[in-house]
Amino acid sequence: MKVTKYEHATVLVEKAGTRILIDPGTFLSAVDFPQLDAIVVTHEHPDHWTPDQLERLHAAHPDAVVYTPEGAAQAMTAAGVTATVTVVHAGDEVEVGGVTLTFFGGRHNEIHSSIPIIDNLGVLVDGELFHPGDSYTVPEVPVGTLAAPVGGPWLKIGEAMDYVLAVKPARAFPIHEMTLSVAGRGMHESRLEWAAEQGGGELIRLAPGESTDL
């Protein structure tokens, strides 16, 4: 499995000719992706998807189905998204070109008591890579690789460290970094690195466009 990190929370997963893109949000640069088979949107916030991004991707990859929770699907319908959208729930499994997508969680982490909590689903790709969206959902299965949120309005670094400690991945790489300065990102990543090492794992630092083989 090859994983390529892009800006913020966007991740491309490639395995045996199947390509799945996760969370193409507002920070994502214009990228000409190879043929996509599916797109996963973890929740409705624009840093994880926008109508313009989905329409651009749909034009280039008309057969790619969008898998997303109910709240985001409603937002896509309201925005007039023309891609095929399939609603998924916690516990669902979907097969895409021989790759299994398993969905966990249900709710976005709280930002503030004044802001409604929305739907959010983490996705486990073929039993290896877990992308939690904006949540601290711990799958009830072992996780080889964790896309670990490192910054954001809902995130406290101590809680992010506790999340990595709870998941105990063999490896992790930071995502959700675009709200941080360069210095702040380095500070937060060092904390996640410590947390990963406590479970015998490692932290892999990926700049946008960089890949790692799992």
Q: Is the pLDDT of residue 167 over 90?
A: yes
Q: What percentage of the chain exceeds 70 in pLDDT? A: 100
Read off the pLDDT of each residue in 109-131 and give the average, rounded to a whole number. Answer: 97
Res 82: pLDDT? 95
Res 144: pLDDT? 98
C-beta contacts of 122-126 below 8 A and 24+ residues apart: 122/42, 123/22, 123/40, 123/42, 123/67, 125/1, 125/13, 125/15, 125/20, 125/99, 125/100, 125/101, 126/1, 126/15, 126/99, 126/100
- 85-98, pLDDT tens digit by residue? 999 999 999 999 99
What letter represents residue 140's amino acid?
Answer: E
C-beta separation of 169 from 145 below 8 A: yes
Task: Decide: pTM greater than 0.95.
Answer: yes
pLDDT band at 22 (very low <50, low <70, confident <90, very high): very high
Q: Is the pLDDT of residue 8 over 90?
A: yes
C-alpha 172/C-alpha 98 separation (Å) is 24
- Parse the chain into domains and list their residue ranges: 2-213
Q: What percentage of the chain exceeds 90 in pLDDT? A: 99
In what helix (H) or strand (E) does residue 55 lie, and over which residues does it extend?
A: helix 51-60
C-alpha 29/C-alpha 35 separation (Å) is 17
User: Beta partners for 1?
Assistant: none
Pick the CATH number of 2-213 from 3.30.390.10, 3.90.1010.10, 3.30.565.10, 3.60.15.10: 3.60.15.10
Residue whose pair of structure tokens reads 């790709």 in the numeric block: 125
Res 132: pLDDT? 98
- 42-84, pLDDT tens digit by residue? 999 999 999 999 999 999 999 999 999 999 999 999 999 999 9
Query: For residue 26, which of 2, 3, 5, 6 has the smallest C-alpha distance?
Result: 6
Work out the mean pLDDT of the chain and round it to a whole number.
Answer: 97
pLDDT band at 30 (very low <50, low <70, confident <90, very high): confident
